[in-house]
Amino acid sequence: MSDALYNIPLTTINGESTTLAPYKGQILLIVNVASRCGFTKQYAELEQLYQDYKDQGFTVLGFPSNQFLYQEPGSEAEIKHFAEQCFRVTFPLFAKIQVRGPQQSALYAYLSKHIEKKRWPFIPWNFTKILVDQQGRILKRFPPTTALAKIRREIEQLLQTR
């Protein structure tokens, strides 16, 4: 297991410095989120995935980004309030970041370097999902249009290999 992923400095939605070290050994679904996107309703499905599998070694990690049509313009406090009040989100949220381009966060730079490229951009839009296994391997990238049922099956397969 490579520790590089788990040592990348991050900031929580509450402004606290952290890394992904607390999630080492878990299956991760890393998602760039936005409050004013057509896919925002996926917050509810992501929360359901989190609730269903959090006690089995799975977590969803939400990373707000304002890069796509400025669909996440709020402050961290506003983002947190929106996610908690509108979708009852309890999975970890982090400070707003850039997911691509010259100001790309260290996390997304690492993810983009270590995943197979397709014909479309690494992060084409909000609610792109990246699945990381228990060993820290970046397995798959799912576009925002991917049915959460498909991602659920992938998570269940990984949980069976524990």
Query: What positions carry a catalytic annotation?
Result: 37
CA distances from 142 to 31, 47, 123, 132 (A): 10, 17, 9, 12
The three-class DSSP label of residue 59 is strand
Q: Which stretches of 1-145 are DSSP H helices?
A: 42-53, 76-87, 106-113
Measure the CA–CA gap between 160 and 18, rounded to whole angstroms: 29
Nearest one of 46, 38, 3 to 24, comparing CA atoms: 3
